[in-house]
Structure 1
Amino acid sequence: MNAAEGVDVAEAEEVRRFWERLGLPGLIDVHTHFMPERVLRKVWDYFDGLGPLTGGVEWPITYRADEDERLAVIREFGVRAFTAMLYPHKPGMAEWLNSWAVDFARRTPDCLHTATLFPEPGVETYVRGAVEAGARVFKAHVQVGAYDPGDPLLDPVWGLLAEAGIPVVTHCGSGPSPGKHTGPGPVARVLARHPRLRLVVAHMGMPEYEDFLDLAERYGEVRLDTTMAFTDFSERIAPFPRRALPRLAALGDRILLGTDFPNIPYPYVHQLRSLEGLGLGDAWLRAVCFENGARLFKINQWAGSVPRTR
């Protein structure tokens, strides 16, 4: 089957109507997962098995498909730029994942070249290598990696990335299941040493939303991505406090669209409708869904058209 034949036309049109109504040229999604197929399949097996890090919550994968089909789907949605969030769970894995990411970025020009890291001997060397190879964003998964982001092995890495101005999307909140080093405290200590680090807090810092809003208000380079936040799925587990909506509105230039595609238990458009349902206005939505990402990653906002796969 041609990859494009796997696209749900009605769903794609609904996503496109969302951004077309806002007058946008498409979407920029800073939190999507592409990784070696055998690694991704293991991730899906973990979700299927209700592993401890899922919080014991059923988590059906909506976009379980081969890489070509997933690319066709996200392009048909009109996502102009996306990431390949990948992460190691043990030493000796990050450098190999980064090698795969170089090839993926070369053959996927609409993917923001993504790299990762782990606190281990040699981490500064391979992170510097990834930067020199053109990495535009890093992923740090404190929960899965079960490491302290303040580990001394990572200190020169944070300094390197802060100096380079490369964003680091970091799962550091305690949702859906807390870890030894999750929560605002460990990354707050990193930011105290590296205040210019472009830390992007994944999942809005769920469930410690307000604590991570504090960090964004304190540090001008801290951003938050919307991944899974505000959706019906997450609201049942960790509702966003409505008293914090004015703070979310005030930080509208530092909130970025993230979705967790393909590893989400609902349709892609539900994330968009959940953001719309916050009632923060079209200007806020335009900033979150495209403009902030375009500015952060220096993407020419109006160049070209959004590709269709059919």
Structure 2
Amino acid sequence: MAGGPDSGRVVRLGAGAATAGSAPTCSLPLTDTTLPPVALRITIDIKGGTTLAPEGGADLLLDDRPVTSGTPWPPSGVVRAGDSLLVLDRVAEPDAHLSAMSEGGLAYNRPPRLSPLRPRRRLVVPVPPTKGDRARFQFIMAFMPMLFGIGMWLLTQQIYMLLFCLMSPMMMAAQWLSENREGKKQHKTSVKQYKKDIAAHTAELAALGKEEQRARRADSPDPAEILLFATGPRRRLWERRLTDPDALHLRIGSGSLPSDVELVLGRGGSLYEEERPEPPVLPDVPVTLPFSELGVIGVAGDRARALATARWLAVQAAVLHSPRDLSS
């Protein structure tokens, strides 16, 4: 359970069918009063493939998309059911390096950690093509040779000289029609290419959003993961050092936050800052507070929930940071 009244619970499911809801008879009983007695049916095959089916008229979302009968539930996928967040993960063995100490107890060798900072991704947003100005008919250039032809006819009295009067306007008219036709053809080609570019951009932006969702959730573990880190123990126990940029950045919940992807307009786009495209919003990502910068934090509200929140913050700090770092 990654969020909601039952945050921190870990339920192991085997092959077969399981149910989740507010009824105590469910395989995964939840204290979420916004859910019907049976809100979700989970089916796991012998290969580990998992599918979902809503029950009791419950509105379920999997990574912000509606859940229908037979919807696959991939590992790390987040299901929102009422006020609860459920995450599917595979069973992992404890992997922390422990060694017995001569004076008793166990020594934990905290492994090195790679920098959690990730480069900010940048995407160029295709700009729709503009329809160019229509070609202008050059009247002066068309009729000046007519004056020359009339003058030559008056001087020579040759009827053939009048052909110059017709030739020039006809040539200019043909050029005008050709340029307009070519302009329309180029605009049609540009629109077709723009549709392909915007479709590719949308797909890439969605993929980057999913990748960023997974990265944010991995960087700020949910209560169930914190429990597994501590009781395993896992390698991520005490992973943060005081020199890390996310030191004492503690998760207080989940919400919808703007993506960190930088969007810039392509060639021909607006130069005004206020007209730049806004990044997409990522649903159900961790919301954190930088305790090292804020100093004192107050938790207000219902006493039971406020105390639970305070315990969660204390446990989170103790699991992600070593006692030596917290005492310094």
TM score, norm. by length of structure 1: 0.28
Say which structure is richer in strand. 2
Q: Pick the structure with greater CA Rg.
A: 2
TM score, norm. by length of structure 2: 0.27
Say which structure is richer in helix. 1
